[in-house]
């Protein structure tokens, strides 16, 4: 049976105290609603509807690349009213999965189980047993232990408040039944809202089977209405991710001080020190060392790589046995080949550093291709920008670039060439020769170093 998904994302989020819509607040660098969209990706939904309200234009702009049909809820009159706005667009032959944009930890596995266990003419309900159900809707069962209705906290009796089985708000139901039930909803309750929960009682009256599922983890159903609750979700998500990472055979110095903001695949016997951020898609080979305060974003790292503290690498490939940092920055479209070294306070941008080559300290290499076993002296820069366009520098195998050299691109340095320290190279340097560019050194007799003028007012104060 084809599946439609409805995500409710119209809440005001007043407790967030923010200009940003609640569902766009982030967990692990990704908005809450995008986590939900990620969870349904493998369900292959035929249609996805997002019900928006407060600051809805911001939500639409943020999710412009998703195949979403947007439905506005102009008045916030409850969850039943929100789903009612989608009725004109639903295919009556579809099953409908109802979710929330501020419940980002929900898993594909839990949702898949709920959908698969809900038949064509059945109602699927996700519930959970919790120690403290305060503030949550309770699942009321009959004498045969069958679900008969859901009662909200504000409408519950003292006896009903003692129930520990709670409603998660996540349902799977046929579009046909929704079309019959939603127009019958009443707002005769203390909040004067149209509760979606009332469809459970309608199903009971219609003798429709109610199938109950439970989440894989109770933490999956937690939502965030405040920044404190958002921080709690972040902590849970990070714990899950680091446990997954350690199961791959990775040692993490302090599991509470690593941020994983994407997908990480690692081989065994890697070591990750404190305060490391892994963002986007990160692949780590075997026996890698990742030092403290390192940031890796969309990076492929080979085997036996050392990345020393306070280095930042983005959209780059680091091959086997390379050594990076400390305090190195490798920018997008860079390739650091096997056994190469990028040392402290070195910036690499859109360049290839060849096998065994060394850029050990205090250098900028941009738009350059280095061959193998090139040695770049301290303070060397490739002057790749002429004010309008970028140009490439080519440094061939076994070249030696002396300290404090400026290579004015476009320029080519031949194999085994040596560039004298302090040179400004504006033309190609031939292979196997020494090339340098310096003015003659001279000393000036009688020259005196400038001294500061005395502050007369200061002298008066001192007197």
Q: How far apart are CA 279 and CA 328, in angstroms?
A: 17
The pLDDT of residue 455: 64
- The predicted model gives 39-65 an average pLDDT of 95
Residue 439 class from Cβ within 10 Å (0-12 exposed, 13-18 middle, 19+ buried)? exposed
pLDDT of residue 54: 79
The residue whose two tokens read 């076994």 is 398
Q: Of the residues 54, 361, 373, 391, which is catalytic?
A: 361
324-344 mean pLDDT: 98
pLDDT average, residue stretch 407-428:
97
DSSP 208-243: --EEEE--SSGGGG---SSHHHHHHHHHHHHHHHHH
pLDDT class of 11 with cuts at 50, 70, 90: confident
Percent of the chain with pLDDT over 90: 88
Query: Using 50, 70 and 90 to split pLDDT, how confident is the model at 388?
Result: very high
Tokens representing 327 are 């305090």
Q: Where are the beta strands (DSSP E) in 230-384?
A: 251-252, 258-266, 271-272, 276-284, 289-290, 295-301, 306-307, 312-318, 323-324, 329-330, 334-336, 341-344, 347-349, 352-353, 358-361, 364-366, 368-370, 375-376, 381-383
The predicted model gives 138-161 an average pLDDT of 92
Residue 459, pLDDT > 60, answer no
The residues, ordered by sequence, that sit 6+ positions from 432 with a Cβ below 8 Å of its Cβ are 414, 415, 416, 417
**Residues above pLDDT 70, as percent of the chain:** 98
Cβ atoms < 10 Å from Cβ of 206: 12
Q: Is the domain 227-435 a CATH 2.160.10.10 member?
A: yes
Phi, psi of 181 (to 5 degrees): -85, -40
Residue 106 predicted with pLDDT over 90: yes
State the pLDDT at residue 122.
Answer: 94
The gap between the terminal CA atoms of the chain, to the nearest Å, is 96
For the four alpha carbons of 108, 109, 113 and 114, in that order, the dihedral sign comes to: negative
* Average pLDDT for the chain: 94
Contacts of 10 (CB under 8 A, 6+ apart): 51, 52, 53, 54, 56, 72, 73, 76, 82
Write down the pLDDT at residue 461: 53
Q: Report residue 406's pLDDT band, with 50, 70 and 90 as the boundaries.
A: very high
Per-residue pLDDT tens over the stretch 342-371:
999 999 999 999 999 999 999 999 999 999
The domain spans of the chain are 3-221, 227-435
Rounded mean pLDDT of 181-198? 89
Q: Which pLDDT score is estimated for 321? A: 98
pLDDT (0 to 100) of residue 440: 85
pLDDT at 309 over 90: yes
Give tens-digit pLDDT for 14-27: 899 999 999 999 99
**Mind listing the pLDDT tens digit for each residue in 209-267?**
999 999 999 999 999 999 999 999 999 999 999 999 999 999 999 999 999 999 999 99
Structure tokens that stand for 187 in this block: 């707002």
Mean pLDDT, to the nearest integer, of 162-174? Answer: 96
Least confident of 145-154, 175-184, 354-363, 394-403: 145-154
The pLDDT assigned to 458 comes to 59
- The pair of three-digit structure tokens given for residue 9, joined into one six-digit string: 């994302």
Work out the average pLDDT over 412-428.
97
Please state, in angstroms and as integers, the Cα–Cα distance from residue 235 to each residue in 18, 254, 259, 336, following that order: 21, 14, 9, 34
Instruction: List Cβ neighbours of 177 (8 Å cut-off, separation of 6 or more).
Output: 121, 123, 199, 202, 203, 206, 208
Count of all residues that appear for the chain in the document: 463
- What confidence score (pLDDT) does residue 456 get? 58
Confidence class for position 374, pLDDT limits 50, 70, 90? very high
Q: How confident is the model at residue 188 (pLDDT cuts 50, 70, 90)?
A: confident
The yes-or-no answer on residue 361 being catalytic is yes
Q: What is the pLDDT of residue 13?
A: 80
Range 171-191 average pLDDT: 92
Band (425; pLDDT cuts 50, 70, 90):
very high
Greatest CA span in the chain, whole angstroms? 109
CATH architecture of 3-221: Alpha-Beta Complex (3.90)
Is the model's pLDDT at 191 over the cut of 90?
no
- Pairing verdict, β 165-174 and 123-129: antiparallel
How far is residue 229's CA from residue 105's CA, in Å, rounded to a whole number?
13
pLDDT band of residue 98 (cuts 50, 70, 90) is very high
- Cα distances from 393 to residues 134, 139, 214, 385, in angstroms, run 66, 70, 60, 11
């Amino acid at each position: 049976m084809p599946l439609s998904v409805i995500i409710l994302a119209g809440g005001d989020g007043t407790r967030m105290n923010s200009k940003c819509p609640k569902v766009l607040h982030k967990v692990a660098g990704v908005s809450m609603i995008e986590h939900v969209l990620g969870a349904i990706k493998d369900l292959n939904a035929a249609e996805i509807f997002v019900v928006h309200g407060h600051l809805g234009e911001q939500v639409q702009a943020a999710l412009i690349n998703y195949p979403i049909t947007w439905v506005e809820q102009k008045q916030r009159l409850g969850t039943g009213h929100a789903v009612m706005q989608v009725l004109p667009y639903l295919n009556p032959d579809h099953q409908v999965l109802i979710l929330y944009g501020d419940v980002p930890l929900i898993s594909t596995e839990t949702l898949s189980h709920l959908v698969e266990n809900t038949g064509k003419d059945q109602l699927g309900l996700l519930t959970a047993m919790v120690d403290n159900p305060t503030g949550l809707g309770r699942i009321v069962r009959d004498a045969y232990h069958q679900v008969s209705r859901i009662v909200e906290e504000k409408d519950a009796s003292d006896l009903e408040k003692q129930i520990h089985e709670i409603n998660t708000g996540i349902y799977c139901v046929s579009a046909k039944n929704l079309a019959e039930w939603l127009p019958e909803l009443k707002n005769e309750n203390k909040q004067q809202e149209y509760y979606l929960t009332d469809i459970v009682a309608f199903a009971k009256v219609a003798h429709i089977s109610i199938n109950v599922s439970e989440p894989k983890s109770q933490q999956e159903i937690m939502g965030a209405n405040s920044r404190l609750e958002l921080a709690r979700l972040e902590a849970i998500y990070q714990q899950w991710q680091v446990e997954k990472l350690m199961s791959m055979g990775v040692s993490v110095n302090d599991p509470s001080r690593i941020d994983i903001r994407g997908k990480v695949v690692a081989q065994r016997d890697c070591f990750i020190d404190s305060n490391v951020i892994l963002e986007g898609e990160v692949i780590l080979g075997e026996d890698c060392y990742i030092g403290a305060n390192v940031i890796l974003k969309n990076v492929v790292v080979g085997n036996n790589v050392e990345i020393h503290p306070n280095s930042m690498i983005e959209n780059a490939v680091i091959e086997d046995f390379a050594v990076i940092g400390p305090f190195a920055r490798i920018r997008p479209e860079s390739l650091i080949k096997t056994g190469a070294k990028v040392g402290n306070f070195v910036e690499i941008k859109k360049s290839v550093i060849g096998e065994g080559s060394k850029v050990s300290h205090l250098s900028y290499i941009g738009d350059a291709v280095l061959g193998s076993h090139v040695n770049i002296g301290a303070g060397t820069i490739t002057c790749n920008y002429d004010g309008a366009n970028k140009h490439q520098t080519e440094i061939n195998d076994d070249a030696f670039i002396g300290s404090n050299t400026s290579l004015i691109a476009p320029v080519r340095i031949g194999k085994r060439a040596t560039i004298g320290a302090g040179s400004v190279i504006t033309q190609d340097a031939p292979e196997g020769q020494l090339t340098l560019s310096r003015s003659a050194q001279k000393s000036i007799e009688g020259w005196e170093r400038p001294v500061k003028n005395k502050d007369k007012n200061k002298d008066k104060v001192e007197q």
